[in-house]
Structures are given as C-alpha cells and as structure tokens.
Amino acid sequence: MARISYNDVAKDYRAGRGLNEDGLSAWREAVRPYFEGLRLPLVDVGSGAGQFAPLFAEWFEIEVFGVEPSDGMRAQAIESAAHERVRYLAGDAQHLPLQDASCGAAWISTVIHHIPDLGAAAREVRRVLAPGAPVLIRSAFPGRTAGISLFRFFPEAAAVVETFPSIERVERDFVAAGFALERFEAVPQVTVGSLGEFRERVALRADTTLRGISDDAFSAGLRRLDAAIESESDPEPLIDYLDLAVLR
C-alpha cells in the first residue's frame, strides 16, 4: 500500500511534481545506454501521471507499458500523457499484468518506498524481464538528501526519507531475486525555474514527504521558503540530485 492516497493527489500531481522535459536532459543521457534500441517494451513500474513513459517512448522510439495501481493517477496519465507507443495498465510492482520475459528493461521512479514487499517486487520484475535485462531505480535514499532543495526548507520531510528503503536494502532484495548492482550515482535535474515557481508547487503538498510531516512543520517550511524568495535578488533554477541505481 502506498504511503499516501494517490487518488487524492492525482489532480494536483502534475502541477506539484511534474518536471519539464528540458530539465531532464541529464536523466535522458543517464538512461540512454539501457533504453535506446530496446526491441522489447520497457515497463514503467508505478508510472503515476505519466511523467516518464511518453518521454522514453519519444526519446528512444520504444514501446512502453506504464503500470500504475491508482485509478486517479492512471486517468491523469491517459488524459495528459498519452502517446501512441505507450499503454497504461492497472497493476502494481508486486502484480505486473505482463507475460514472463516480455520486457526489455524496467524503470522504477520514486516508487520503492511505497512497495510493501520489496523482495516480492524484485522477483516480479525479474519475471517480466528478458534474461540480462536491466532495472533502473530512481529514488531519494536515506542519508543522501543533501542535494534535494525541498529539504533545505522542510527538514522534517528529510526525516521521512530516512524511513525509505536504503540502497543497501534495495541491493539486498534485488540480489536475492537474481540481480546484481551495476551502477549507482546521483543524477541532476532542473526541478523548477525559480524559488517562486517552487513555492507554487510546494503549496499543493503533492509530495509523499510533505504529506508525512505535521501541518505546523509544513507551515514553518513555507515561511522559510517565503523568506528566501523575499531575499532572492536574481531568480535561478533549482537543480536537484536524485540517485540512479542500475541492476541487471
């Protein structure tokens, strides 16, 4: 079960969490060696409102299955992130509606902390992947939040990340399912164009970590953000770093 109700946040998710394609250039290059030229479809596990599935289909001219358990998020994806090479399906990481060895790679973005049984999910991902296919995991991991702007203003939200599965836990569960860790690194992204834009997004509270803190802590973070905006002379883009783990 997810830590928050994505049916409740679905209508605000793209406005509160969506990323501009131009700001994802480093992610495009980071995944290119694994996704470009795939002959079998990519499975986007927990595809949400369709942030990545249509981009991967367009960037690399591949077929993508977006698997998402939330009806509300899936409806948003179908409405706002449709692509001729993408199919959005109902399902979750532990129950993928796909045949054995039917996919050429898996993408799991900011999802692992919502998975009740990570070991079962690792086994299920291995089932649907062709032999030798990679799984790429994009996430914030415990102890590695210093490069994420949100937590400068909401330190209590950083504490929520400390309850997420660690990279050591992820490696352990996926190794038990037959994978090996091949690559692990931080990848930059341009999250927003300015602190003012960031303030508008944060106010929607569409992030799991913001939903996991008290209203008082959230209000205090907004005040810190407002003070930073007031003292900012020249607005600059916010560059954040999330981790990429590649297992095969």
**Contact assessment for residue 177 and residue 217, using Cβ atoms and an 8 Å cutoff:** no
pLDDT tier at 3, thresholds 50, 70, 90: very low
Position 232 confidence tier, pLDDT thresholds 50, 70, 90: confident
How far apart CA 138 and CA 188 sit, in angstroms, is: 11
- pLDDT on residue 63: 98
Confidence (pLDDT) at 129: 98
Contact of 161 with 81, CB cutoff 8 Å: no
- pLDDT attached to residue 191: 94
pLDDT digits (tens, 9 = 90+) for 15-48: 556 688 899 999 999 999 999 999 999 999 999 9
Q: What is the pLDDT averaged over residues 105-119?
A: 96
Residue ranges per domain, the chain?
6-148+163-191+238-247
Q: How far apart are CA 63 and CA 43, in angstroms?
A: 9
Mean pLDDT of the chain: 93
Tell me the C-alpha distance between 43 and 32, whole Å.
Answer: 15
Burial readout 4-31 (b: 16 or more C-beta within 10 A, e: otherwise): bebeebbbbbbebbbbeeebbebbeebb
CATH class of 6-148+163-191+238-247: alpha beta
Q: What is the pTM of this model?
A: 0.93
Q: Residue 20: its pLDDT value, please? A: 86
pLDDT of residue 4: 44
Residue with tokens 């990570």: 118
**131-179: per-residue pLDDT in tens?**
999 999 999 999 999 999 999 999 999 999 999 999 999 999 999 999 9
CA 34-75-32 angle, 5° bins: 10
Strand segments, DSSP code E, in 114-214 are: 135-139, 181-192
Percent of the chain with pLDDT over 70: 93
Q: What is the strand order of the sheet 86-90 is part of?
A: 86-90, 64-68, 42-45, 105-109, 135-139, 238-247, 181-192
**pLDDT confidence of residue 11:** 63
Residues 66-83 pLDDT 10s:
999 999 989 999 999 999
H/E element holding 161?
A: helix 155-161
What are the two backbone dihedrals, phi and then psi, of residue 209, each rounded to the nearest 5 degrees? -70, -35
Closest CA to 114 of 134, 128, 93: 93
pLDDT > 90: what percent of the chain?
87
Residues in the chain: 248
